[in-house]
Structure 1
């Protein structure tokens, strides 16, 4: 009974948050808590029910196996990223995460067997911190998928395509995916008798020959979009500026109705969170991304979301680390 109640409370908060505003970060946390409580509820029910216990044991074994293989998968992905995309910090994230996770596992296995209480306590504390970060990561990942697959898909007055880096003056595949997704939305609206405006947004980087907005507009013109349906926003350098400047351009044209922002699937939820922070009412839709790019890209998005509340997460990690040390001292 208690396990069922512990599941229902976060589940109710999750559903309420979804109905109130799908862009709330707390929705992801409530989802994660509800899923953990659901697993505990199923574990309790499976103690006396072999029909449930066997699938739960198999699921637990698969989860442990996945956890053990995760560092190797991240390391392999990091090597692929470096080979295909170069050695920037963003491209090294999955490699660094794999090394950190592998190091934590080795330290925990060594530290927990040591006679020194402080060493054992630090191993337990580090494990608790890692579990906390893993919980947040999985919660945000699952909720990002839910957010990206729900919500309105038509009936838009404006389509904002967020910029990404160019190759000189050429639109790379990552940005082309966003533009192709926007084109499909645009043509669907036309088939329904509407004529939305497409806002292409992004300034000129130091290594780019033209602004991202200009290159994106040329891409759309080549595919039959009339010039009067394309608006250029060529000043923005961040996602927040992309959204803010685009909103003003749409308002200047008298378009204050429904707006959709198009970005890549790994970037969808953070864009939604930023739009909520700015008081913008818009839907965010994702475009597909190359498989090897997704782990590093989502890790980058995860870090960006974490640093929005540095005090809360830092305090939580300190409490967990101190808790791990206290367990061995009390014992």
Structure 2
């Protein structure tokens, strides 16, 4: 039994090292997007304050998405992020409000306001706009979060995923150190969700597995 536990610990450690390398590769090998024919720019939230202000990371992502939209990279902005216990409103709603103050029209905004994790960002965006799954999309988040975000959207059925960093010059942000653990959590939750769906389980309780 002890040998088996050690073996499991070794496997777990190797996986965490692998996820850490995937995160590092996403940071170091970042290549800015060079296309202008994306169907949508999807901005992933980070957090918000109880008074309605966006955290620095959420604001940076939102402003990066707005800049890409204004540069003509896509005709639509999708804001993705739900409402935590201390949030006055879903983060996607707050992000859309910022976009409107910067001149983005309501007709160019799509709000996904139910997600509480990167996996839910991907899954709920697919449900909200299924046509985007077969179209080129541009994900906007921070470099440390980019590789896991692309993997999450691929898992949710998106075929043509590209990534734009909200921090092209400053790749290290608070939270970077937790990415290997979050990768591991994503893999476990996504696998469990996929198996449950395969055997016919569905509904809000299953979606909550991805929180």
Task: Give me the whole-angstrom Cα distance separating, in 2, the residues matched to 1:292 and 1:257.
Answer: 28
Which of 106, 110, 116 aligns to 1:231? It is 110
- Asked whether the 8 Å contact 1:158–1:255 carries over to 2, the reply is no
Residue 256 and residue 278 in structure 1: after superposition, are their counterparts in 2 closer, same or farther (change >3 A)?
closer
| Displacement after TM superposition at 1:306 (Å) | 3.6
| Displacement after TM superposition at 1:147 (Å) | 4.8
- Asked whether the 8 Å contact 2:23–2:147 carries over to 1, the reply is no
Residues paired across the two proteins, number: 178
Q: Identify which of structures 1 and 2 has the higher relative contact order when contacts are C-alpha pairs closer than 8 Å and 6+ apart.
A: 2
- Stretches of structure 2 that go unaligned for 5 or more consecutive residues are 1-9, 189-211
**Match in the other structure for 2:151:** 273
Structure with a larger share of its residues in helix = 1
**Match in the other structure for 1:203:** 82
Q: What is the TM-score normalised by the length of structure 1?
A: 0.47
Which of 22, 29, 36 aligns to 1:154? It is 36
Task: Give me the whole-angstrom Cα distance separating, in 1, the residues matched to 2:171 and 2:33.
Answer: 27
Residue 251 and residue 299 in structure 1: after superposition, are their counterparts in 2 closer, same or farther (change >3 A)?
same
Q: What is the TM-score normalised by the length of structure 2?
A: 0.70
For residues 1-331 of structure 1, what are the structure 2 equivalents within 5 Å? 136=18, 139-149=21-31, 152-168=34-50, 169-189=52-72, 196-251=75-130, 256-281=134-159, 282-288=161-167, 294=173, 296-307=174-185, 308=187
Deviations 1:62-117 (A, max 9, x none): xxxxxxxxxxxxxxxxxxxxxxxxxxxxxxxxxxxxxxxxxxxxxxxxxxxxxxxx
Residue 216 and residue 134 in structure 1: after superposition, are their counterparts in 2 closer, same or farther (change >3 A)?
closer
Aligned residues: CA RMSD: 3.3
Residue 150 and residue 293 in structure 1: after superposition, are their counterparts in 2 closer, same or farther (change >3 A)?
closer
Deviations 1:140-161 (A, max 9, x none): 2442135532655432111111
- Stretches of structure 1 that go unaligned for 5 or more consecutive residues are 1-127, 310-331
- Asked whether the 8 Å contact 1:157–1:255 carries over to 2, the reply is no
| Displacement after TM superposition at 1:219 (Å) | 0.3
| Displacement after TM superposition at 1:210 (Å) | 0.9
Deviations 1:20-54 (A, max 9, x none): xxxxxxxxxxxxxxxxxxxxxxxxxxxxxxxxxxx
Deviations 1:274-298 (A, max 9, x none): 122222122122211996962x522
Structure with a larger share of its residues in strand = 2
